[in-house]
Structure 1
Amino acid sequence: MASVLSIGAVAPAGADTARLADYLQARAADADGQGDIALAGYARVLAAAPASGAVALPAYREALAAGDVALATRAAAVLRGTPDAPADLPLLPLAIAAERNDAAEAEAAVAALEKTPLAVMVPSLRAWIAFTQGRDPAPAIAAGGKNPVTQRLAAETAALIQIARGDTATGLATVQALRATGSPIDLRLSAAQLLFARGQGAEARALLTGADPVFAALRRGAAAEPTLAYGVSRLFGRVAGDLADQQVTPLSIALARTALIAWPANDRARLLLAEALAGEGATARALATLDAMPADSPFASTATAARISVLVAAKREEEALALARRDAGRSDAGEAEWQRYADRLSAANRNADAAPWYRRVVDADPAAWAAWLQYGGALEQAGDWPAGRAALQKAVALAPREPLALNYLGYAQAQRGVDVTASTAMLERAHALKPADHSITDSLGWAYYVNGDVARALPLLESAAAGDPVNAEIGEHLGDAYWTLGRRYEARYAWRAAALTAPPADAARLVTRIAQGLPRQ
């Protein structure tokens, strides 16, 4: 109600009615994920009520999500200096200044950022400004204080600037030292880009070892000049990557979008922006963001994977499956593409179709236990138990202390009554290795049950059900154990709970159990 009143106080009543309708329509569209309609509505209301903070904040957020720099700038001007101003507000003028290489404007925006929780970036930003203006960045780096996040970002920035200045040995030593303490792969990527720009391809490629498809593409050469735009964009993207899993989507969108405003070639930021938009339910915008990825970008294959994830999250499984199929069928497709397609087939319960694609992954790396596990799982789910068991045994042979492999083979054998004693021993090893895993706890309890030791099984099944109360299979197992022990009321309660989350076929079986109890053996 407060936001409506603040709009209505600006113009005559006739105009207020139209403005209020636009505002309410924009809010409704915003809530429904109709971003373009919301954006147009906020733009109209902000134009009619240019001093309204109540409109400016959602307009600012919507404009950043859409990449409408003009509207975001107008909204930011309204918000600046008000209680409604978000902490990320200085990011936009900073990105615009960086893109223009305007050091004075950039410094003014950094000064505003210093008063917000995003001040952790300030020493690094000032270092980039100093470096690109021909000044010594060391004093800015040294001003990081004792905040560990600030220090970490400043250390990474120092390494990149050392490389950009031609002090390759010191810069690479700093990169390696930071790698040893857990720096993200973004640092190696950024360092390699700067090395390529200096013509030091061998040193760049030495940083990009491994099978990661992005690194493999970057090894062909992907230079970036150490401009202010690059430094600001790289830092914003770095922080956005750290926030990707922390449920702070508006800030993630702001960081990734302004990283792209500063340096539109930052395809890593493009991926992060698409992920953040998808997290807000803005599927169309997320897909449009990925559409803007150049076909020859080192991140192109990752963008395809991201597109598949966005489609799956939006419940557009058929489109995701079709895209994964096209990707896996490319002449230059490899393990990552085959794996994604097999995973989508498996998710669609098409395990017989998935198995040959998992087999391709196995053949590409026969020593990978996880590939054998997935291949064996697909065969087993498709009904080819002998071949599935052989593949699962191979996984266990390759990784005899891997709980997932031990659990899958042990449970599959126990469920079929095959070598139950050895299967139980396998599950006991898995449980000892990973005692907090509720699925493994359930598997071991079920093996005891199948072996006739219901008293020993029950506490394990109860523990698994308490830890994962929505797992229908665990709930069914618990109900079976209760019934066998004569605890009929508790059995039916466990089965009813399981039926709430079970797939239709399993739910039908549970309904029969609830009505008739366990079938007689």
Structure 2
Amino acid sequence: MLTSWPDDPAVAVRAYREAMISGDEALALRAARVMEAEKVAPIDVALLDLAIAAHKGDRRAYDGALTRIDGGALRILSPVLRAWGAWDRKQPVEAALDSAGKEPVARRLAEEHRLLLALAGRRMADPSARVLLETVRAPADTRIAAAELMAGRGDEANARGLLTDPLVSSARGKLGRKPDLGFGVSRLFARVGAELVGEGPRPLVIALARTALIADPGNDRARLLMAEALAKDDAWDAAIAALEGVAPDRAFAHRAAVVRIGLLGEAGRPGEALMLAKGLATAKTAGVDDWQVYADQLIAAKRPADAAPWYERVTRADPPLPWAAWLQYGGALDQAGRKDEADAALARAVALGPEEPLALNYLGYARIERGEDVPGSLALLERASKLAPDDASVTDSLGWGYHKAGQTGRALPLVEQAAMAEPANSEIADHLGDIYWALGRHYEARYAWRAAALTADDSEQAALAAKLAR
């Protein structure tokens, strides 16, 4: 389309955005020139030229692109970009970093990169850098960049000691990286993109992730960022494709595999997700996170009996995991029909999380469904409702518990409240129909069951059809 309509700014904008998603650098540049000529270029176009210049080591083009950034909305990046340019020329970087002035975001980025530049220039010892990063609670992306630099010069111990969050599996792959201009630019763009991905404008986040990859194609963290940004727009296939370039022997490979499993599930490809999860869980290097992911996929595949032993492995982790692990284990046992074992596991979850409404709700609901210890079960459900008064599922459980205990009049307003809060919840609608029927309100019961049938899965449809037929 851009070839057919080379001067059309609307076509150029769309071509540019699609090129940034797919990584078609040539198309992005063509579209950028059209947008600039028509004066409709977005603020991130200058980042594209700068990233290309950084990757090629073209200092003249780098300075030209930086001048354009200085005059735009992304000028908060200028002090750090100018500092990396100075470092590349073996010039002092302090003046550029100090030019951040009092602007808070620019100053924060400058201070983070002051440390990275000190590491890159070998002006700071790794142990001192590690202590400083831990003391100021530097964000994950800054710690990852510092760890890459430390590992790149052989200090694996301090490098891996920095990586305490699940973003990167530091023990499972290569981490080291030698610094260059592209490294600094890429880590800055990925750092800002990670800050914005939760709430910021998605096209800008995608542009930051793509230009981070252009500046340094080895920045696997930027691929994860790209996948996360695309997933926010439900672009599952594009997000999966973004992860394909993650190097299998590098430290981000494991995290990318876990993210890919989730994306495959969302994309309606459960078979692939389950197969990949099984591979992680059964590998020699498998750990708690891998067992958890595989068990979750087995539950999604409606195989609770197969999921239970994997959840049980999770509960035996060292150090011990909290109440949620036991809740999932108990839930799998319950769905598999192993009620006594489920009760023990759910009771353990409540013991570990006595103020956790999900644990209280599940144990109380499971027991009252079996008619066991009705007063004690109601007490658990009442406690859960008090802790989570706005949770429709908890409200429904309490109402259903009253109904099972013979207090149907007391149950009705609670289940009605839950149904209004979550009208597409088939279980709540089914409960509401049963309660209406018990109270002699048969027309309303049938309407509630028909509503339930709209969203119920195949295993529930037969029971609903039988109720309607009768």
State the partner residue of 2:143.
188
In 1, the alpha carbon distance for the partners of 2:14 and 2:408 equals 59
Structure 1 residues 229 and 479: CA distance shift in structure 2, 3 A: same
Task: Identify the match of residue 281 of structure 2 among 328, 331, 344.
Answer: 328
1:476-515 pair list within 5 angstroms: 476-514=430-468
Aligned residue for 2:217? 264
Deviation string 1:96-138 (CA, Å, 9 cap, x unpaired) is 1111233442233233234544344333323333333344434
Q: Number of residue pairs matched? A: 467
Question: Per-residue displacement from partner, 1:162-218 (whole Å, max 9, x unpaired)?
Answer: 443423577545523442xxx532222122222233444443233224676613336
- Report the secondary structure of 2:74's partner residue: helix
Shift of 1:83: 3.8
Question: Could you tell me which of 99, 108, 126 is aligned with 2:64?
Answer: 108
Query: Deviation at 1:315?
Result: 0.6
Structure 2: distance between partners of 1:434 and 1:234: 41
Do the aligned residues in 1 keep the contact of 2:223 with 2:243 (CA within 8 Å)?
yes
User: 2: CA distance between counterparts of 1:133 and 1:125?
Assistant: 13
Pick closer, same or farther for the CA change 1:337–1:115 going to 2, 3 Å. Answer: same
CA contact (8 A) 1:338 1:361 kept: yes
Rounded to whole Å, the distance in 1 between the matches of 2:439 and 2:104 is 56
- How do residues 39-78 of structure 1 correspond to structure 2 at under 5 angstroms? 45-46=2-3, 48-78=4-34
Report whether the alignment pairs 1:294 with 2:294.
no
Task: Report matched runs for 1:209-224 at 5 Å.
Answer: 209=164, 214-217=169-172, 222-224=175-177
Q: Normalising by the residue count of structure 1, what TM-score does the alignment of the two structures yield? A: 0.81
Number of the residue aligned with 2:415: 461
Kindly indicate whether the alpha-carbon contact (under 8 Å) linking 1:275 and 1:310 is maintained by their aligned counterparts in 2: no
- In the alignment, what sits opposite 1:175? 133
Distance 2:298 2:348 in 1: 23
Do 1:189 and 1:215's aligned partners in 2 also have CA atoms closer than 8 Å? no
Which of 9, 20, 35 aligns to 1:79? It is 35
Residue correspondence of structure 1 range 11-410 to structure 2 within 5 A: 23=1, 45-46=2-3, 48-144=4-100, 148-165=104-121, 166-168=123-125, 171-172=129-130, 174-179=132-137, 184-209=139-164, 214-217=169-172, 222-246=175-199, 248-277=201-230, 285-365=238-318, 367-368=320-321, 369-410=323-364
Per mean C-alpha deviation after superposition, the further-off stretch among 395-404 and 149-158 is: 149-158
CA distance in structure 2 between the partners assigned to 1:116 and 1:467 by the alignment: 45
- Establish whether residue 443 from structure 1 lines up as the match of residue 397 from structure 2: yes
Where in structure 1 are there 5+ consecutive unaligned residues? 1-22, 24-44, 517-521
Q: Distance in 2 between matches of 1:195 and 1:403?
A: 44
Q: Could you say if the C-alpha distance between residues 362 and 52 of structure 1 is closer, same or farther in structure 2, counting changes exceeding 3 Å? A: same
1:230 is aligned with what amino acid?
F
Question: 2: distance between equivalents of 1:386 and 1:415?
Answer: 13
Letter in 2 for 1:197: G
Matched residue SS, 2:243: helix
Match of 1:452 in 2: 406
Aligned mates of 1:120, 1:333 — CA distance in 2: 42
Match of residue 472 from structure 1? 426
Task: Tell me by how many angstroms 1:68 deviates.
Answer: 2.0
Change (3 A) 1:231 1:385: same
Comparing 188-197 and 258-267, the one that deviates more? 188-197
Supply the AA of the counterpart residue of 2:224: L
- Confirm or deny: 8 A CA contact 2:237 2:267 kept in the other structure: no
- Distance in 1 (CA, whole Å) between partners of 2:149 and 2:91 is 19
Distance 1:103 1:323, change over 3 A: same
Partner of 1:422: 376
CA distance in 1, matches of 2:72, 2:434: 57
Measure how far apart 1:471 and its partner are. 1.1
SS at match of 2:169: helix
Could you tell me the percent identity over the aligned residues? 50
**1:282, distance to aligned residue in structure 2 (A):** 5.6
What SS does the corresponding residue of 2:42 show, helix, strand or coil? coil
Structure 2 CA distance for partners of 1:489 and 1:141, relative to 1, 3 Å:
farther
User: What amino acid does structure 1 have at the position aligned with 2:124?
Assistant: D
What SS does the aligned partner of 1:233 have?
helix
What is the CA distance between 1:425 and its match in structure 2?
A: 1.6
Compute the displacement of 1:297 (Å).
0.8
Structure 1, residues 298-327: CA drift from partner, whole Å, max 9, x if none? Answer: 011112112222221221111211222222
State which drifts further: 347-356 or 128-137. 128-137
**Higher RCO (C-alpha 8 Å, min separation 6):** 2
- Deviation, structure 1 residue 49: 4.5
Instruction: Indicate conservation of the 8 Å contact 2:453/2:464, yes or no.
Output: yes
1:376-403 per-residue CA deviation (whole Å, 9 max, x = no partner) reads 1111101111111111112222222222
Are the aligned partners of 1:159 and 1:170 in contact in 2 as well (CA < 8 Å)?
no
Q: Judge conservation of contact 1:395–1:405 (CA < 8 Å) in 2.
A: yes
Secondary structure of residue in 1 paired with 2:186 = helix
Instruction: Tell me, in whole angstroms, the C-alpha distance in 2 between the residues paired with 1:142 and 1:466.
Output: 56
Q: Assess, with a 3 A threshold, how the Cα gap between structure 1 residues 142 and 356 changes in structure 2: closer, same or farther.
A: same
